[in-house]
Amino acid sequence: MFRSISLRIFAPVLLIAVALTAAAQTRDPILGEETTKVSDHVWAIMGFPNIAIIVGNRATLVVDTGLGPRNGATVARVAAKLSGNTKLFLTTTHFHPEHAGGEPGFPAGAILIRDAVQQQEMVEHGAEMIDRFRNMSAQNKELLANVTLRTPDILFDNEAKLDLGGVTVRLLWYGPAHTRGDELIFVEPDSTLITGDVVQNKVVPAIAGDGGTPVSWLAVLDKITPLNPRHILPDHSPPGDGSLIADEKNLIADLRTRALALKKKGVSAEDAGKQLTAEFKTKYPDWPNMAPVANFVQRIYAESR
């Protein structure tokens, strides 16, 4: 289903991925009000996670919320200062609490948009995941106290389009990767892609719980490639250019090829993870953390049964 919007008119218990859990426990979850300009119409609050604010002549779109209503209110306040628009849209890259748990801090009139698969994950696992994050620290418990998330105003299947006034934004669901409902946001006039966890800057991919598979992640990257973005804003790493897509695709494909070769030789998933972690540290020296390789190897083995 395609929707055009103009201002003129569980499953098993969800286990958070290793890298994401580590980030949640070690990074300061409190967002500040300083912004970085990513492209002509896109600003970012760099933090846990990176928040995108897309400003048009008549409306503003915020992508992701921060952890809990306090952060959501900060993001909404920054968006209002940047734009001066009274029309506010909000969307989320996926259902994890640092991306969606700040929604109650936004003004009541904010229009919440989400892809249908992501919303189904929210229904199945959202409360469970909020509880999981609450238990990570006393600060998280305070930030997520009494959080209840509302139903989106608009759901879409594969694509929705927003006209913000001089700025057209495409909201895209291309299939499962980090989670089943990963949403990508493409700001057309800027050629800027906001990627959530799907494309990161030299970060080994992590599949969360009952999310995608290595093959489905590669399929999503294949669908992203024709967008040919000039700018990419990930959620847990620095901004970069369109080459980040090929970098990530090459690493996943390389890791999959090596893991399957080891499996064919009868090497266990655990031993393959250890071997490839060491191998890829040497092979990709500018990728700072290869610890998630072992987890991804487990996923490759599981998928190839």
Domain spans of the chain? 2-237
Q: Three-state SS for 192?
A: strand
Find residue 54's DSSP bridge partners: 42, 61
pLDDT at res. 7? 38
d(CA 52, CA 179): 20
The DSSP result for 53-74, as a single string, is: EEE-SSEEEEE---SSHHHHHH
Q: Which amino acid is at 78?
A: V
Place of tokens 């060491």: 278
Q: Six-digit token pair at 251?
A: 């690493």
Cα 208 to the chain's mean position, in Å? 11
The yes or no reply on domain 2-237 and CATH 3.30.360.10 is no
The predicted-structure confidence for 142-195, as pLDDT tens digits, reads as follows: 999 999 999 999 999 999 999 999 999 999 999 999 999 999 999 999 999 999
User: What Cα–Cα distance (Å) separates residue 282 from each residue in 143, 255, 286, 300?
Assistant: 40, 13, 9, 21
**pTM value surpassing 0.75:** yes
DSSP 111-137: EEEEEHHHHHHHHHHHHHHHHHHHTT-
Burial annotation 167-198 (CB, 10 A radius, 16+ → b, else e): bbbbbbbbbbbbbbbbbbbbbeebbbbbbbbb
> Along the 305 residues of the chain, how does pLDDT read in single tens digits?
434 443 332 333 334 443 444 444 457 899 999 999 999 999 999 999 999 999 999 999 999 999 999 999 999 999 999 998 889 999 999 999 999 999 999 999 999 999 999 999 999 999 999 999 999 999 999 999 999 999 999 999 999 999 999 999 999 999 999 999 999 999 999 999 999 999 999 999 999 999 999 999 999 999 999 999 999 999 999 999 999 999 999 999 999 999 999 999 999 999 999 999 999 999 999 999 999 999 999 999 999 98
Show the beta-strand stretches assigned E in 183-303. Answer: 184-187, 192-196, 231-234
